[in-house]
Amino acid sequence: MVSRLPSRRTALTCLVLTAGWLLATTSVQAGEPTATQRAAFKQAYAVAQQGGDGWRSIAAGLRDYPLYPYLQEAALEHDIQQIDRATVESYLKQYPDWIPAADLRRAFLLELARRQDWNNFLALYQPGLGDTLSCDALQARLASSSALDFDKDLATLWAKPNLPDACDPVLNAAHDQGLLTSARLWTRIDRAADAGQPGTIASLANWLPTDDRATAQRLAQALRDPAGALTTAADWPDTSRNRQAATLALTRLARRQSANADTAWQQLQTHFSFSEQQRGQILYALALFHATDFDDGALARLIALPAAMQTDTSREWRARVALAQQNWSAVLAAIDAMPADQQQDGEWQYFHARALIALGRNNEAQQQLSAQAGKTTFFGFLAADKLDLPYAICPLTVAADPQREQALLANPGLLRAFELYAVDLPKLARREWTRALQDADQATLQVASDLANRRGWYDRAVFTLSSGDALRLYNLRFPLASQDGVVPQAEQAGIEPVWAYGILRAESAWMSDARSGADARGLMQLLPATAELVAKRNGLNWGGGDTLYDPATNIVLGTRYLAQMAERFNGSPWLASAAYNAGPNRVDQWLTARGTLTPELFVATIPFKETREYVARVMAFSVIYDWRLHGTAVPLSTRLSAIGQPYGLPNASTVRRAVGCPAVEPVSAPAAPSSASNASP
């Protein structure tokens, strides 16, 4: 590590200015950077992230390289505790509109707040940098003996149910100045209760008058431990706030343990004088979560809900419970009770038709199925299978537009985005992409996505082309990316390549650096612990969790894990997809409860909304990828093998469905990649 004497820092400032001027005067048409430049940048960036000036000798030939300022910012941010305001201001002046300049400003402001160097903080501060820095700015004003004005300084922050720790000194000062009246405290406590933030409630309770503190803490307990709160609720006085806490605890417990919530409700409904709205909230929660458990009487509970308490979710679950019971008259009634816009959802159009068929009303059913069969969706493909029609896939390609393409290639921000992706900095690349195209029209976004696709940056099209006719740009939205080895690795693992493609597309949307809150990583979103076990089971090398960001490694392990899931469920790709998302043990539980249903009914009755939609998405994506690879597709209904029956991989004799374009219908946009299942319906 080099020393950081003042003279060196002055020299660094001069170099920042000089390098910036050289970059600013470099034409964006200077040509594609070379592999040598990229290799040098990657090496220099790794060194810069360790701080100091060691990166400079490596980057000596990169002064006109478009990402050169990223090197300087990386080194400065690492050394944030040693640098001074003059150094930061020099960088900001040279690159005022650059993303790394904004990052450096934010990092240095946080450092100045840590130092409590409030004069320099206020000199660099800009509004709109987030709650933490907003509160730091208020701390800076307080340090100069400025009084707080609630409406001007705190009202916006006060409206938020949760705030960062940096706001604690500001709130303490507001309390000391008498600004946090009981009315204001209760207003924020109510917001926190609605948002499920017990910590906020507990901290605010300490500022309430003594008589109110216990009441507020009951609200916090209702969120944290609803079962515990309800064990003592019968001893609470029948006050407005206690009724609020009891209502909150009952609705929270219903989600987790509907039977126990029922018992508590029977005990408390006469103890408290609940309002009609509170009674409705409790009855709604009980009905809804008895339904997600598919309990006896759940359908009757949902039907009995007052009209004012009905929601799209409760009406949806009325239909799902009826489907689980295969009570087709009840299915029709449930769908007919939905508002018109909900009835138009493809799932309910399909199941309405299925109910009509089951009740012998085939002509009416065929009309609805015909309308769905023209759509490139899970239920559209199922409808086409019912009618034995070709799948309706109507592809578009990006129209040639040399002028627009050249304009994009003259956009410095977009060029930086492409270059950041080329040097394996995809997070930074996405930020430059978003800024460069924030005001672009649809035609420009399509051309930009095509440019990204040609560079192997596949996820841009998936996230950018998400509405209207752009959804039909299947070659961009469903890339094949053969260089990553999906087809050969899937074949070696003994699974269908098109299914592996469907899983990958649903998991990460081709974002190779994707990482979930549960630490699932890479294209196929594998947990490191799972990947390690898969590697050992298959005799493969394991290089640690970060290797999952390498597409080839991720696909090798992901396809093997898919094969394990398929083996557990008789080769069934749709059940294995559910297990891949929610875990095989949960799928086993659902099979025990409803394993006699047909596949389409079983999918419709999966309790987790995310998993239901995930299975439908993966299977629809598999059809599209089958078409992309072969021009035809194995029928979706063939891949939805019956529960308990072995699924055989398609072969040369497998009947395949033709694909045509009888009508142009928009397809549904894919949901954002997800990584954690939730039990909420």
pLDDT per residue over 79-137, tens digit each?
999 999 999 999 999 999 999 999 999 999 999 999 999 999 999 999 999 999 999 99
- Averaged confidence pLDDT in the chain: 92
What is the reported pLDDT for 1?
35
Length of the chain in residues, anyone? 681
With CA atoms as reference, report the closest residue to 141 among 160, 122, 158. 122
Distance between CA atoms of residues 457 and 398, nearest Å: 16
What confidence tens digit (pLDDT) does each residue in 528-552 have? 999 999 999 999 999 999 999 999 9
Distance CA 335, CA 472 (A): 30
| Region 390-410 average pLDDT | 96
Report which residue type is found at 100: P
Cα–Cα distance measured from residue 598 to residue 641, given in angstroms and rounded to the nearest whole number: 9
- Residue 315: per-residue pLDDT: 97
Please provide the DSSP assignment of 263-317 as one string: HHHHHHTTTS---HHHHHHHHHHHHHHHHHTT-TTHHHHHHHS-GGG--HHHHHH
**For 639-675, what is each residue's pLDDT tens digit?**
999 999 999 999 999 999 999 998 544 444 444 444 4
Using only the alpha carbons of the chain, give its radius of gyration. 29
- For helices 402-409 and 442-454, angle between their N-to-C axes, nearest 10 degrees: 70
Q: pLDDT at position 669, please?
A: 46
pLDDT score, position 74: 98
Of the candidates 634, 633, 631, 573, which has an alpha carbon nearest to the alpha carbon of residue 599? Answer: 573
Nearest CA to 28 among 454, 450, 412, 587? 412
Give pTM, 2 decimals.
Answer: 0.90
* Closest to 368 measured CA to CA, from 379, 313, 617: 379
- Looking at residues 342-356, what average pLDDT do you find? 97
Q: What is the mean predicted confidence (pLDDT) over 445-460?
A: 97
Q: How many angstroms separate the first and last alpha carbons of the chain? A: 55
Instruction: Name the token pair of 581.
Output: 């998302």
Instruction: Extract the tokens encoding 325.
Output: 């019971």
Beta bridge partners of 392: 660
The structure tokens listed for 47 are: 């060194």
Name the token pair of 193: 């209760």
Helix (H) or strand (E) holding 542: none
Asked if 291 contacts 301 with a C-beta cutoff of 8 angstroms, the reply is yes
Q: Is 496 a catalytic residue?
A: no
Given this model, what pLDDT does residue 640 score?
97
pLDDT-derived band at 37, boundaries 50, 70, 90: very high
- Give me the phi and psi of 398, to 5 degrees please: -70, 125
CA distances (Å), 290 to each of 4, 29, 196, 300, in order?
A: 66, 64, 22, 11
> What's the pLDDT score for residue 663?
53
- C-alpha 55/C-alpha 42 separation (Å) is 10
Q: How many CB atoms lie within 10 A of CB 61?
A: 12
Q: What is the phi-psi region of residue 664: left when phi exceeds 0, alpha when psi lies from -120 to 50, beta otherwise?
A: beta
CA atoms within 13 A on the CB side of 136: 29
Distance in angstroms (rounded) separating the CA atoms of residues 158 and 156: 5
The answer, yes or no, to whether residue 439 has pLDDT greater than 80, is: yes
> Are 548 and 561 in contact, with CB atoms under 8 Å apart?
no
pLDDT band at 481 (very low <50, low <70, confident <90, very high): confident
Torsion of CA 174, 179, 182, 184, to 10 degrees: -90
- Compute, in degrees rounded to 10, the torsion defined by CA atoms 571, 659, 476, 402: 170
Q: What is the pLDDT of residues 38-79, one digit of tens each?
A: 999 999 999 999 999 999 999 999 999 999 999 999 999 999
Q: Are strands 391-392 and 659-660 parallel, antiparallel or unpaired?
A: parallel
pLDDT score recorded for residue 659: 96
Question: Is it the case that residue 17 has pLDDT exceeding 90?
Answer: no
CB 605 within 8 A of CB 320: yes
Q: What is the per-residue pLDDT for 352?
A: 98
Alpha-carbon distance 427 to 478, whole Å? 21
Asked which of 23-27, 46-50, 635-639 is least confident by mean pLDDT, the reply is: 23-27
Distances (CA, A) of 636 to 13, 106, 616: 63, 51, 10
Q: Between residues 20 and 565, which one has the greater pLDDT?
A: 565
pLDDT at 297: 94
Tokens of 611: 């998993």
Confidence (pLDDT) at 15? 37
d(CA 673, CA 614): 9
The residue among 548, 535, 498, 521 whose CA lies nearest residue 656 is 498
pLDDT of residue 482: 80
Confidence of residue 145 (pLDDT cuts 50, 70, 90): confident
3-state DSSP percent of the chain in helix, strand and coil, to 5: 65, 0, 35
Of 419, 496, 507, 600, the active-site residue reads: 507
Mean pLDDT along residues 186-211: 95
> Where are the alpha helices (H) located in 572-608, listed in sequence order?
573-582, 584-594, 599-604
Q: With respect to CATH, is domain 482-660 assigned 1.10.530.10? A: yes
What does the alpha-carbon distance between residue 445 and residue 449 come to, in Å, rounded to a whole number?
Answer: 6
Give the pLDDT score at 31.
75
